[in-house]
Structure 1
Amino acid sequence: MAAPQPSTPDSASPAIGRSLLWPLIAVGLGFLLVYNSFDASAGVPPAPSVVSLPAASAPAAPSPSASTSAAPSGLPRSEPERISIKSIAVDAPFTPLSVGPSGQLDAPPASDPNLAGWFKDGATPGERGTSVVAGHVDTKTGPAVFLLLSTLKAGNTVDITREDGVVATFEVDSVETFSKADFPDDRVYADKGTAQLRLITCGGVYDKKKKDYEDNVVVFAHLASARNS
């Protein structure tokens, strides 16, 4: 993803800008990998920015029943409509994201701070594979949708409402921080043969010269259950 380049942050102005950058990488059985980074001003704490990347889609599983049911392997393909993470007060709609001519994944529009993006050419959330969702940590007007992403804990849940009316619930396995200079693409985007979700954001120290955070915060989660909304 790429967003307009922000001006150099300073203590006198809370203006915030950020850009998402993921070098496109082919891994495993040819699914896309994306690496992101965000810029933010000094007026916002170096909290994470967000971005998740899906892996290639796999055979669909049967639709769940009206009641809550276990969904260990995956669901049929269906585009996401809304993400809810109650533990960090996230409730936001989705916009599809694609890889631009430069090989970078486009960022969600900076004009809407409460908007998550999903990599439309990868697995949809709940589908077998590694699904990636992206969002900003902040905008020029203040905090954005994934400001508190790094505070998630193992056992927290992420609900994604899909176009087919199914709510896919993911359970957080871990939240880890990686240096952008040594980002573990294979580990983050590996296809485990089940429905996985990755929420990726910026974190660590903000480099004023580079206008970028030094690290990425990655939320690892798996599909725990699904129900009809």
Structure 2
Amino acid sequence: MPPASAAGSRRPPWALLAVLLLAGVLLVHHGASRADGPPQPDPGAARLGTTTPPADPLPAAVPVRVRIPEIGVDAPLVRVGRDRGGWLEAPPPEDDNVAGWFTGAVSPGESGTAVIDGHVDNAEGPAVFYGLGSLRKGQHIEVDRADGRTAVFEIHGIDVVDKTRFPGRRVYGSTGLPELRVITCGGSYSARGGYSGNVVLYGLLTAVRPPA
């Protein structure tokens, strides 16, 4: 899948994304299982919805950094695509403070659904999105872009989904609005199968900060 550029590129239609991504995200567990595990979302946060109006969509621009102040995330973004099995790639597991932008979808802030992923842990312990499941609706995610703008997304849903029944249309499908999905591993853990699910965070573009 060719990477998106700052000037924009042809986006694959939903039918193609469904084939490539319907199975979900393979963000494997690289370390020993913790007794308590990463935080999991409140079941009440799974229902999507916000009363905040969306901001106007932005033109295409490469995202360079993601910040989630409530859980201490301030991480650079690298480009990720698909692996040989058609799964959404994860960023390198050895770096615990890096996240991935999926280049097969729109850039954060454009009309459509942008996707950022990252590991929940690695061999050394918690990784960039370990705390993702503790976030709540109404909190915010900030994405710095190469054009100097910062796209601010309000969380309007957060859920744990089973990897074997991954809801591709719900997660990756376009609503016609500038949206963001942030994805990591979640659910129960076993040494043989890793994590059973994915934590999926749903964000809507509600503000844009201009270049400083």
TM-score normalised by the chain length of structure 1: 0.73
- Based on CA coordinates, which of the two structures has the bigger radius of gyration? 1
Partner residue of 2:27? 38
Contact 2:28 2:119 in 1 (8 A): no
- Percentage of matched positions with identical amino acids: 37
1:116 counterpart residue number: 99
Deviations 1:26-84 (A, max 9, x none): 863644653113333213743279xxxxxxxxxxxxxxxxxxxx863410000111111
- Which protein has the bigger helix share? 2
Residues 26 and 89 in structure 2, CA contact (< 8 A), matched pair in contact too: no
Q: CA deviation at 1:98?
A: 1.3
Letter of the 1:218 counterpart: V
Tell me if the contact between 2:27 and 2:118 (Cα under 8 Å) persists in the aligned partners.
Answer: no
- Equivalent residues, number: 183
- Consecutive unaligned residues of structure 2, counting only runs of 5 or more, are 1-11, 41-52
- Give yes or no for the alignment of 1:214 onto 2:177: no
> What does residue 49 of structure 2 align with?
none
Deviation at 1:144, TM superposition (A): 0.5
Query: TM-score scaled by structure 2?
Result: 0.79
Q: Secondary structure at the match of 1:186?
A: helix
CA contact (8 A) 2:162 2:196 kept: yes
Does the 8 Å CA contact 1:48/1:137 hold for their aligned counterparts?
A: no
Deviations 1:120-144 (A, max 9, x none): 1210011111000011111111111
Q: AA paired with 1:228? A: P
Instruction: Kindly indicate whether the alpha-carbon contact (under 8 Å) linking 2:182 and 2:202 is maintained by their aligned counterparts in 1.
Output: yes
User: Per-residue deviation at 1:195?
Assistant: 0.6
1:95 to 70, 74, 78: 78
CA contact (8 A) 2:142 2:152 kept: yes
Tell me whether 113-122 or 174-183 shows the greater mean CA deviation: 174-183
